[in-house]
Amino acid sequence: MKLLKRLIVVFLVLFGLFYFVGLPYLRNQTKKHSPEKTSTYVLQGAELEVHYSSPSKKGREIFGQLVPFDKVWRTGANEPTTFTTSEAIKIIDKPLPAGTYSLWTIPNKDSWKVIFNKEVPDWGVSLFGGGTQTTREASEDLIIVEVPSRNVQEPIENFSIDFINEDQLYLSLSWDKTIINVPINR
C-alpha cells in the first residue's frame, strides 16, 4: 500500500513538472522557429485582426506533402490561428458576427476550404496524434467557404496572412507557391 501511494505521488509530481514546466518550455521553443504575427485592418468601422504563427518553408515541399491535401490544417503553426472582428461582417456572402474565431483550412490543389470555428483550443494539434490530428471541433464550425487557389512563380519562404484591398477586401494566405484570397464584405 505504501509503495502504491509513493508511485502515485511520484507520478503526480512528474505529471505536474511536465504540464507546468515541460509544455510551456516546448511551446516557447517552437515559437522560435514559427514566430507569432498579427495583421489588422479597419473595414468601415469594423476592426479586423488575424493572429497566427508563421512557419518557414526551409526547402520543404509544403502543400500536398508537409501540409496534406484534403485534410484539416491548423493554418500556421503552434496555437490555432485566430480571426477577430469587432462588428458583424460577411465572409463572401455568409454572415460572421462580432467575436473571435479559430481559422482552419482544408488545402487542395485548385481550391481551399476556409473554416471559421466558434472555439479557440489551446493548441492546434493533438499531442497524441503525432502532429497530424487537429484539435478543431467540427460541430463548432460557423462558416465554411471554398475559394480558388493560385500558384506563384517564386516560392514564398514564410507563411503569411494579410489583409489585401484591391477594390475588394481579401484575407490573403500565402506560402510556398500558393496564394488564396478570401473576400470580406461589410
Instruction: Name the residue ranges covered by the structural domains of the chain.
Output: 1-33, 35-185
What are the b/e assignments for 75-114, b being 16+ CB within 10 Å?
Answer: bbbbbbbbbbbeeebebeeeebeeeebbbbbbbeeeebeb
Neighbours of 125 (CB within 10 A): 21
Residue 80: DSSP 8-state: P
- The span from the first CA to the last CA of the chain, in angstroms, equals 66
pTM of the model: 0.79
Span 76-86, average pLDDT: 92
172: left (phi over 0), alpha (psi -120 to 50) or beta: beta
- Nearest-angstrom CA–CA distance, 14 and 36: 30
Q: What is the pLDDT of residue 124?
A: 53
Residue 35 phi/psi, 5-degree rounding, is -65, 150
- pLDDT-derived band of residue 24, with 50, 70 and 90 as boundaries? low
How many whole angstroms from its chain centre is CA 153? Answer: 25
Q: What is the pLDDT of residue 129?
A: 47
- pLDDT-derived band of residue 8, with 50, 70 and 90 as boundaries? confident
- Which of 13-22, 28-37, 87-96 bottoms out in mean pLDDT, i.e. has the lowest? 13-22
- Is a pLDDT exceeding 60 seen at residue 30? no
Residue 13 phi/psi, 5-degree rounding, is -65, -45
- Nearest-angstrom CA–CA distance, 19 and 58: 30
- Nearest-angstrom CA–CA distance, 156 and 175: 5
- Which of 6-15, 99-108, 138-147 bottoms out in mean pLDDT, i.e. has the lowest? 6-15
